[in-house]
Amino acid sequence: MLAASPKFATKADDVLDGELEKKPILSRLEKILEGSKISQDVLLENMKDDKGGMMLYTSGTTNRPKGVLLPQSTLMAQAKSLSEAWHYSPSDHFLHVLPLHHIHGTVNALLTPLLAGSTIEFLFPFTVDSVWSRLAAPFLPASSEPTKKPISFFTVVPTIYNRLLQSHNTLSPEMQRATKQALDPKNMRLNISGSAALPTPTKQAWTELSNGNVLLERYGMTEVGMALSCGLANEDRVDGSVGWPLPSVEARLVDLDTKAIIQPGEEIDANGKERSGEIQLRGPTIFKEYWNNPTATAKEFTDDGFFKTGDVAVRRTVPTAGKGASGDWAQGPMYFILGRLSADIIKVGGEKVSALEVEREMLSLPAISECAVVGLSSETWGQKVAAVVVLSEQGKTAGKNGKPFGAMDLRRGLKDKMAAFKIPQELKVVESIPRNAMGKINKKQLVIQVIGPQS
- Reading the chain (455 residues) residue by residue, the pLDDT tens digits are 667 778 888 888 887 776 666 555 555 555 555 555 555 555 556 666 677 789 999 877 667 889 999 999 999 999 999 999 999 999 999 999 999 989 999 999 999 999 999 999 999 889 999 999 999 999 998 655 667 899 999 999 999 999 999 999 999 999 999 999 999 999 999 999 998 889 899 999 999 999 999 999 999 999 999 999 999 999 999 999 999 999 999 999 999 889 999 999 999 999 999 999 999 999 999 999 999 999 999 999 999 999 999 999 999 999 999 999 999 999 999 999 999 998 899 999 888 899 999 999 999 999 999 999 999 998 888 899 999 999 999 999 988 888 999 999 999 999 999 999 999 999 999 999 998 877 889 998 999 998 888 76
* E strand map for 246-298: 250-255, 261-262, 277-282, 289-290
C-alpha triplet 2, 75, 281: angle, nearest 5°: 130
Q: How far is Cα 399 from Cα 212, in angstroms, rounded to an integer?
A: 34
pLDDT of residue 419: 92
β-bridge partners, 314: 336
Q: Which runs of consecutive H residues, i.e. helices, occur in 139-197?
A: 158-168, 173-183
pLDDT of residue 358: 94
Of 391, 396, 388, 400, the closest CA to residue 446 belongs to 388
pLDDT of residue 437: 77
Q: What is the CATH number of domain 54-339?
A: 3.40.50.12780
Domain extents in the chain = 6-38, 54-339, 346-450
Q: What is the CATH number of domain 346-450?
A: 3.30.300.30
Q: Treating both helix axes as pointing N-terminal to C-terminal, what angle do 158-168 and 200-209 enclose, rounded to 10 degrees?
A: 50
Do 135 and 123 touch, CB atoms closer than 8 A? no
pLDDT of residue 27: 52
pLDDT of residue 26: 53
pLDDT of residue 116: 95
